[in-house]
Chains A and B, each alone.
Chain A
Amino acid sequence: MRDLFIQAAYLAASVLFILGLKSLTKPDSARRGMQQAALGMLLAVVGTLVNHEIVDYKWIAVGLAVGSLLGYPLGMFVPMTAMPQRIAISHMFGALAATLVGVAEYHTHSTDLPTARMAALGFEVLFGSLTITGSFMAFAKLQELLRGKPITFAGQNVLNLLLFGGAVACFVFLVASPGHPAVFYGMIGIALLIGILMVLPIGGADMPVVVSLLNSYAGLASAATGFALGNTVLIICGALDGASGFLLSILMSKAMNRSFRNVLFGAFGGDKVASGGRTAEGLVAREISVEDAALRLAYASRVIVVPGYGMAVAQSQHQVRELAELIERRGGEVKYAIHPVAGRMPGHMNVLLAEANVPYDRLYDMEEINGQFEQADVALVIGANDVVNPAARNDPGSPIYGMPILNVDQARSVIVLKRSMNPGFGIENELFYDERTSMLFGDAKTSLTRLVTEVKTV
């Protein structure tokens, strides 16, 4: 009877999770769907707590209390601008839970593990461990505890391959003869090291792919836990999580026209890349005053805002919305063009603009908006660089050649808000030197605030 209740709770939870994810296909139904998914989680936990294997609730209560105390602020108080590192660190917690369950399981049963379960356990701790350190590294880079630029050294890829080979050897050995704790813990050590080395050479602009990939790994670790424990709800959730992360990493790679291999081993954004493309020597960028920029925006009837990571860094999304509302009040139309890899994680710009109260039906994906730039009076680029770089279309020597970009250069005029002419990750952007482009230098937040003040007085 009790087992029946547990299984029913797990089944209900699985269904609610899938429905919750399905609700995310429409912004209006999403919130309700996710609340139902949360209910599913509660069911699954209650179902587990009545499990007859559990004899002592004291320590469970401690774990739940500590987790809730730490989880609540992570859910309620982390600002939207910190979302990429927040997501990265939560992959670490997920992987940590999976790995520790795997270690506990191995510790209890090491000598009498059947082959299939040992293989599942092996996958679990392998994926889990490398996700723990990998996610922490991604967190540290996004939080700027480590410098965001790729860190490379000679023989890096060879070392990674050797370590990977070592981990696989340990894995195979353990599946054949599980009763060797030293090999098991050695494998965990190697996997932890691989996680660090994997993320070390990855630059800030590639973070969307890596964060998605780690999401996928965390999911696979959960699924492997399900196999190791014979628990279907874990397998289902792990598969959902893994599929989601995998799909997102494919989408992100496509949006950068790069393969996984290239992202993971290419150390994109390194100092050496700059030599590939054309240089800007002899070209002059036209500067524009705040007053002139404000005039142009005030009298524009179609404006397309192109936000990039710079908007997130300056935390200027509220000023963007304010400016857009002023233009709209004067009769202009404002749309937002969102490149899939703008920012540091999938959907980063959308969340920031939604936070600033920009209606989501004004946010357009690249495919939807690219045809509309020709009719735009002004394209306002805020802290975006690579995603608007025409070199991706017409300079085969450029490291970003072939990457799909926003057709900002087709707009009737372009205003670029940028700190200085210093190219962010070493790639020159000829858009900035185009005769239709005007540069407004300075911190994005300050520039936007001044634009708002000016447009009010027009």
Chain B
Amino acid sequence: MSPIFVIELYVFVLAGFVGYQVITRVPPLLHTPLMSATNAISGISLVGSLVAAGSGRGTVTTVLGVVAVASATINVVGGFLITDRMLRMFHRADPKPGAAKPPAA
């Protein structure tokens, strides 16, 4: 096992712990936005796809890369937009009950 691989393993395990600790504190109220948020963030596979699509390693790699770029971009663009759309909807009760108006979008 190369030393770099070991360091990467550390990063993975520690990031997993951070994720677990942070996400345990997300209330069930926001579990759907949480899913769409992690989806958007998982679009980070873009960084791998971009290199595959643009490094000129032959047609096969480029085609695979371009499809991967498109898929990841769908998640990035769609994921962040829909998360924002959802989070915009969550608001507290108005002080005057019954007079609740949607917050300015």
Binding site for B on A (CB under 8 A): 10, 13-14, 17-18, 20-22, 24-25, 27-28, 30-31, 34-35, 37-38, 41, 44-45, 47-49, 51, 53-57, 59-60, 62-64, 66-68, 70-76, 78, 80, 83, 86-87, 90-91, 93-94, 96-98, 100-101, 103-105, 107-108, 114, 116, 211-212, 215, 218-219, 222-223, 225-227, 229-248, 251, 325, 328-329, 338, 340, 345-348, 350-351, 354-355, 357, 359-363, 365
Assembly CA distance A31 to B36 (angstroms): 13
Contact flag A93-B37 (CB < 8 Å), given A338-B28, A354-B90, A360-B91: no
Chain B residues contacting A223 (CB-CB under 8 Å) are 12
Contact flag A103-B72 (CB < 8 Å), given A21-B23, A57-B54, A233-B44: no
Assembly CA distance A101 to B19 (angstroms): 24
Q: Are B64 and A248 in contact (CB under 8 A)?
A: no
What are 22 A-B contacts with C-beta separation under 8 Å? A34-B40, A57-B54, A63-B49, A64-B70, A64-B73, A72-B78, A83-B32, A87-B35, A90-B78, A90-B79, A101-B45, A116-B5, A215-B38, A215-B39, A229-B48, A239-B19, A243-B19, A246-B20, A248-B35, A354-B91, A361-B92, A361-B93
Which of B62, B82, B97, B100 contacts A357, CB < 8 Å? B100
Q: Are A244 and B23 in contact (CB under 8 A)?
A: yes
Contact flag A53-B82 (CB < 8 Å), given A212-B35, A231-B47, A239-B15: no
Chain A residues contacting B50 (CB-CB under 8 Å) are 45, 48-49, 51, 54, 60
**Does B104 touch A at the CB level, under 8 Å?**
no
Q: Determine the residue in chain A with the shortest Cβ distance to B13.
A: A239
Nearest CB in chain A: distance from B64 CB, A: 4
Assembly CA distance A360 to B28 (angstroms): 11
Assembly CA distance A292 to B46 (angstroms): 58
Nearest CB in chain A: distance from B3 CB, A: 11
Contact flag A51-B38 (CB < 8 Å), given A59-B65, A227-B5: no
Contact flag A66-B70 (CB < 8 Å), given A90-B78, A244-B19: yes
Q: Are B70 and A70 in contact (CB under 8 A)?
A: yes
Q: Are A20 and B41 in contact (CB under 8 A)?
A: yes
Which of A55, A104, A233 contacts B64, CB < 8 Å? A104
Which of A62, A218, A235, A244 contacts B12, CB < 8 Å? A235
Assembly CA distance A57 to B66 (angstroms): 11
Assembly CA distance A212 to B84 (angstroms): 20
Chain A residues contacting B102 (CB-CB under 8 Å) are 357
Q: Are B71 and A100 in contact (CB under 8 A)?
A: yes
Assembly CA distance A83 to B78 (angstroms): 12
Q: Are B44 and A13 in contact (CB under 8 A)?
A: yes
Closest A-B pairs by Cβ, 5 of them: A67-B73, A75-B81, A63-B69, A71-B77, A347-B31
Q: Are A90 and B39 in contact (CB under 8 A)?
A: yes
Chain A residues contacting B40 (CB-CB under 8 Å) are 34, 37-38, 41
Chain B residues contacting A225 (CB-CB under 8 Å) are 45, 48
Assembly CA distance A347 to B36 (angstroms): 11
* Size range of the chain B interface in the assembly: 35 or more
Nearest CB in chain A: distance from B105 CB, A: 11
Q: Are B81 and A71 in contact (CB under 8 A)?
A: yes
Assembly CA distance A364 to B68 (angstroms): 40
Assembly CA distance A106 to B29 (angstroms): 42
Nearest CB in chain B: distance from A306 CB, A: 15
Chain A residues contacting B86 (CB-CB under 8 Å) are 80, 351, 354
Q: Are B34 and A24 in contact (CB under 8 A)?
A: yes
Nearest CB in chain A: distance from B16 CB, A: 4
Assembly CA distance A86 to B49 (angstroms): 22
Assembly CA distance A313 to B83 (angstroms): 22
Which of A211, A212, A237 contacts B42, CB < 8 Å? A237
Q: Are A67 and B53 in contact (CB under 8 A)?
A: no
Q: Are A244 and B72 in contact (CB under 8 A)?
A: no
Contact flag A71-B78 (CB < 8 Å), given A18-B22, A94-B42, A357-B100: yes
Contact flag A97-B46 (CB < 8 Å), given A70-B74, A359-B100: yes
Query: What is the 8 Å Cβ interface bit string for chain B, positions 5-28, against chain A (1 contact, 0 not)?
Result: 100100111011111101111111
Chain A residues contacting B35 (CB-CB under 8 Å) are 87, 211-212, 215, 244-245, 248, 345-347
Q: Are A347 and B16 in contact (CB under 8 A)?
A: no
Assembly CA distance A203 to B65 (angstroms): 35
Assembly CA distance A237 to B72 (angstroms): 13
